[in-house]
Structure 1
């Protein structure tokens, strides 16, 4: 039996992408929720089992690389404007609304707006590092916005590479890998630590030199594999590969093999996971529960809103004289974060962004059945 066979024509379902989005975002929510157990006897358990959820950020980066490459296959410079417009409308309006909500609810309202130039509010709205010399830029006005700095950098580099037409993939790799090579740490024993300050000017060169940007290339490679005109012929082999990658991830989490972001940390496993699923999904049907598809659909809203929701809940609970330092609060707060994220998704991602696009407002089921839904 041939191990590989040609891929039949037709659109493959990409529900597994939405499932990964759901897993990634839920992991980030739980890794932040673990701080509710700080200074309690449960802290060591929470720190051991929930910290790995931060790797959801790396998974998001890899997924982003996959989606951007997959949805633009065969496109060139004529589509660059539309690509950038879709990305801007997808990312910036929900971020801007959340930044303003964060200012009013967590940072003194109008007072925060008046001192925005000094506290990083405006830099966050411009998706620039609050302090370019403290990578990976956790110190943003809206804490979770640090990842969008890397996302937007990738979008810009990706759009620039699209202008190169037939050489776009070569140019993309030259720009991303070349940017990382600007980081002096890379030449010091190939140090791939994303926390190292490259000390470059202007500030965005530090983003270009951060090894985290390499994780987007993992997703690009997965998209190439997914679009390749062949597949694994054996379904049994596919299920074995899936079992292998899931088991490996479970073991690596158990022993805490990796403890931080980066292409040689959580990003390496995220890349392997997406590459494996991209390959085997061409042969076997990966059934994803509807609730997981729903969670994947609201994942961006959940990512943006969960820290604000968590802190507001802590304020309310403490005002009532209750305790937020328990596993019960971890799970209850996570459930409330999901509800708040769905409301935000409907009001901002769907209605507001729909109005900005000048299109009729309607509910879009993000099931991965077509390319536009993924963008």
Structure 2
């Protein structure tokens, strides 16, 4: 086209790369690392790395991304109700679908022994607070959702009492807490079904108040304090839970540093404390908490996140951003699918390498196809429903003269949603063009 001075100016029709594609790519990398962690021992045990933990690496990347993005979106819009409506329709539909599928096929592949056969399992699954009440999930990967939920409860309480700006201090405090808890606690202090039942009742009542606006701040504070208590007193591995929350607040601190609201030194302190947390712990528990493995895993996760930030604004491989788009489905469905696959094929650990490779490719293809389908037919429609309900609720509250939190704009219904467009500093919630645990 011609410019104002008569010069020919070439106008590119190729869309610019999304400034948030790096977050999608990180989720894609994290999701596939967790898939590989669970696939290799069953399909290609000789290829499994032991110098770092693939699974913990992927989970730490997820937690850094959640910490970076969740508080930023909530603070931008200031609508706690929209936040929780979005979280419910983002997380629960697929989560409940996987639970139903696993239970329906329990006649073929029994439910894990770690899942109690009583009401405490129902209460713990209803709140997603599984690991922090020492209840196993029907799908192995569901334990990380406990810490996502704890983080949401803490962030909500901090936001409402205006204490959310001290992310660096929070990350260092939780990291120091992980070291201290590791020195004195080998496991849950509160055991049995009581934590699951009590937390379930408080969770439902408290969130009802938070969503509908009755005693909102007081209820959010009660939920936040409950989350802290569960984290320290009834978690399966208390030091690990506290360290995970430290990592998530470190992600928030990175975002604040990026927009000029803080320094990076709290993130460095947090990393050092988290690195040493299990080294003197009363109960280590797994091979991946050995000093060399644990520190290498943390370093790789941090380096991956830093590399993603360094590449923000650049065009990234579409396969990574697509994997990020379906990452929640990938994360939840892959482990049950791998179990069913092995149930059909039999033990592959002693099979010939070509056969192992062929079966691995088939299994990964199956996981990707099913994950794409669950994203298309479960996640995306339910996210759209959540946005519609959020908009209707917002209109009713506005008509009733509901006061709005500072910073809440007219587009608040998109908070943490599929179509988010107006968030500052290159921040949009979760997957670009498709919205956690994460």
Same fold, TM-score > 0.5, yes or no? yes
1:207 aligns with 2:197: no
Give the 5 Å matches for 1:1-375.
Answer: 13-37=19-43, 43-48=45-50, 51-75=53-77, 78-106=78-106, 117=118, 120-129=121-130, 132=133, 139-165=136-162, 167-170=163-166, 173-174=169-170, 177=173, 181=177, 184-186=180-182, 196-197=186-187, 199=189, 204=227, 205-208=229-232, 210=241, 211-228=243-260, 259-260=288-289, 266-275=297-306, 277-278=308-309, 280-281=310-311, 285-318=313-346, 326-358=356-388, 371-372=428-429, 374=431, 375=435
Distance 2:362 2:340 in 1: 13
Distance 2:111 2:247 in 1: 38
Deviation at 1:277, TM superposition (A): 3.5
Deviation at 1:90, TM superposition (A): 1.1
Deviations 1:209-241 (A, max 9, x none): 5322111022112211332389xxxxxxxxxxx
Distance 1:56 1:43 in 2: 19
- Closer, same or farther in 2 for the Cα pair 1:32/1:351, shift >3 Å? same
TM-score scaled by structure 1?
Answer: 0.69
Deviations 1:8-43 (A, max 9, x none): xxx970111110100000010111001224xxxx63
Q: When the two structures are aligned, how many residues end up with a matched partner? A: 312
- Closer, same or farther in 2 for the Cα pair 1:18/1:171, shift >3 Å? closer
Listed as ranges, the gaps of 5+ residues in structure 2 are: 1-16, 197-226, 233-237, 263-286, 392-416
Distance 2:52 2:359 in 1: 15
Distance 2:250 2:101 in 1: 34
- Closer, same or farther in 2 for the Cα pair 1:130/1:13, shift >3 Å? closer
RMSD between aligned alpha carbons? 4.2
Deviation at 1:370, TM superposition (A): 6.5
Corresponding residue of 2:265 = none
Listed as ranges, the gaps of 5+ residues in structure 1 are: 1-10, 189-194, 231-257
